[in-house]
A and B are shown apart, each in its own frame.
Chain A
Amino acid sequence: MKSAVILFPGTNRENDAIKAIEQASGKRPEIIWHGDNDLPDVDLIVIPGGFSYGDYLRCGSMAAKSPIMRAVITRANNGVAILGICNGFQILTESGLLPGALMRNSSLKFICKRTNLLVENADTSFTNQYKLNEIINVAVAHHDGNYFADDETLNRLEGEGQVVFRYSDIDGNVNDETCLNGSQRNIAGIINDKGNVMGMMPHPENAINNLYGGSDGCGLFNSIMEAI
């Protein structure tokens, strides 16, 4: 499997993403700079976390308009798998590849902690190695992860199985108490209607080795290998 990781000024999780992809696929992804106009021929494009362009204007808004994103949008429309993590999720919503927006956490605080996620759809290219309703434990590290969309969009996402992960407790309870950032309906990760573009605020790429506190994120990268 050939893959690319996009690098913007301010991206800081690219090495974590590279490590996770390399571990799952045995192949090192190519690093692509935001100012490039073209992408190599790849099966997977990952937009990693960080603070692209210093989060100026709105998180992800500048990156979404950068030259490389035009190429990413074309690839997305051609069915290539795209994964946006944290700032990558913000960039995907700002570029229009995923619906909704990521707003300031309801607590107004930067949240850096471990959280449980309920797997709501285990039938995607990104989650086929998980079981439906499985609970996975991963880290979040963000200031603007509060998912917002209008009710019509939220109903459509839920109706079409496009809500992939929700913030939950260890028993899978999804409620206001387990919603660490104020996201509507506890949404932590969504997928587009074609099933090839996924965005999530938590960091599966930081949970790939039990020596570093957990390996629940491996399932996501192994799922992509299985699907491609």
Chain B
Amino acid sequence: MKAKVNITLKNGVLDPQGKAIEHALLSLGFTGIDNVRQGKVIEIELDEDNAEKAQADIKNMCEKLLANTVIENYDIELLG
């Protein structure tokens, strides 16, 4: 089973990199954009076939290492 973990900064945490990307987009002439936020995507292949077990395993990985829950949220996608 393959899984994808999306890690994003929590609301209220300033994202200077997102801001810089936003400025760059504006300077390229893109208009009508706001609140650009940068995150990370981590893909993992698992031996586990049980979706519930896989979800629990990855949640544990997120809490222990993949995300810093002081500043980040995470979202797990199982890709089957």
> Do A182 and B70 touch across chains, with their CB atoms under 8 A apart?
no
Does any Cβ of B come within 8 Å of A104's Cβ?
yes
Does any Cβ of A come within 8 Å of B13's Cβ?
yes
Contact count band on A: 20 to 34
> Do B16 and A106 touch across chains, with their CB atoms under 8 A apart?
yes
The answer to whether A103 and B65 touch (CB under 8 A), given A108-B16, A108-B17, A108-B20, is no
Residue of A with least CB distance to B13:
A148
Interface of A is mostly: loop
User: Which residues of the other chain, A, contact B71 by a CB distance below 8 angstroms?
Assistant: 101, 103, 148
Complex Cα–Cα for A57 and B67 (A): 9
A-B pairs with CB below 8 Å: how many?
A: 37
Complex Cα–Cα for A94 and B68 (A): 7
User: Which residues of the other chain, B, contact A71 by a CB distance below 8 angstroms?
Assistant: none
Most chain A Cβ neighbours within 10 Å, of B12, B16, B17, B20: B16
Contact of A104 among B12, B16, B65, B66 (CB under 8 A): B16
Extra contacts, 11 of them, besides A65-B64, A150-B70 (Cβ < 8 A), are A61-B65, A93-B70, A94-B68, A101-B70, A101-B71, A103-B71, A106-B14, A146-B16, A148-B13, A150-B12, A182-B16
Q: List 18 A-B contacts (CB under 8 A).
A: A57-B65, A58-B68, A61-B65, A65-B65, A93-B70, A100-B70, A101-B68, A103-B14, A103-B71, A104-B16, A104-B17, A107-B16, A108-B17, A148-B13, A148-B14, A148-B70, A148-B71, A182-B14
Could you list which residues of chain B lie within 8 angstroms of chain A, going by C-beta atoms?
12-14, 16-17, 20, 64-66, 68, 70-71
Could you list which residues of chain A lie within 8 angstroms of chain B, going by C-beta atoms?
57-58, 61, 65, 93-94, 99-101, 103-108, 146, 148-150, 182
